[in-house]
Structure 1
Amino acid sequence: MIIAENIFTVRDLTYRIRSAAIGDAKQLSALRLKIDGETEYLDREPGEAFLHEKDFEVLIQEDTKQSRHLFLVADIEGDIVGFSRCEGHSLKRFAHKVTFGVAIRKDVWGYHIGKELLAASIDWADQQGIQKMSLEVLETNQKAIRLYEHHGFLIEGVLKNDKRLADGLYYNTVVMGRQRPRF
């Protein structure tokens, strides 16, 4: 699905939140690889489950067609610095919900890009009548957990020893969900 773009300025940094376009595929492939190497908050090691430009083209095309999918990017003067996806479900028993994920380049952390991608996704989900958004976050990522809680997400469970990071230790994953407000 496609949404209208929005422009934000935070401490002299101006960025745009918009729907992903086919022409973004090359940048998204490189960005995902870069971000995977910048933080252990995401699921992949650098280079794992690599998506080529063509893979992103297919993903963007499918997400644009699907009413229960949303692929957003954040760009600074055409340079993509982050992205988020809401992925809906085709099974009827799960058609009421989407799964949310977000990734932001480390050098632009602190400019509310993740917050605005999340807010745009929540607005879209509410407008689509989606009843639930769910996500998973590493338990050590307290800043993200607080952001999600601020936007109405509740902790629904903890997956114990769910991820093994570079230090060889196991870490918990927090499962969070947000129910659409009843109007």
Structure 2
Amino acid sequence: MCLLLLSPSLGENTLDIARQFCQFAGKMAQNDGQTSQIDETDRALVALLAANARMPVADLARRLGLARTTVQARIERLVTRGAIAGFTIRRGTALKEAVRATVLVCIEPRAQAEVLARLRQLSTVETVHTTSGRFDLMVVLCAGSTQELDGSLDRIAEARGVKSSESLIHLSTKLDRRG
């Protein structure tokens, strides 16, 4: 709510400016009680953290040309607002599984819960996404060998509620923007 006490002697122009100010203040207040948006500095900070989530705040500050306390406050604000959901590691080549595949799965109507329960039991399942179009689920598998991958594909195909599946074996990575 915006409350301005104005003199009756003010002109219509001043009243219009005051109304615009109140509209602007209302829009800013609707932003979860926070008046700041994610700006280019925040985006640069998130990019640096995405490349190395363990980078010390002092190094982040130096690269961004900001004070360490400013960077720490920005990180805390981004976490609080949900822009940053957490900090994690990415496996290097020494720890990456040898074989990866994407499996496109068609399921019976109302069988999603049962199929997802089966997929959760498979240690090779990395992610499961619902999709639009011809397939219902997209499953990403990571296996230590082609034999382990083959076994996982068999268990997916055998799961009750699965009508059909199509496997796409990942051969090489040509672009990875995750860092």
TM-score (norm 1): 0.20
Greater helix share, structure number:
2
In proportion to residue count, which structure has more strand?
A: 1
Q: Rg: which structure is higher?
A: 2
Higher relative contact order (CA 8 A, sep 6+): 2
Name the TM-score, length of structure 2 as normaliser. 0.20
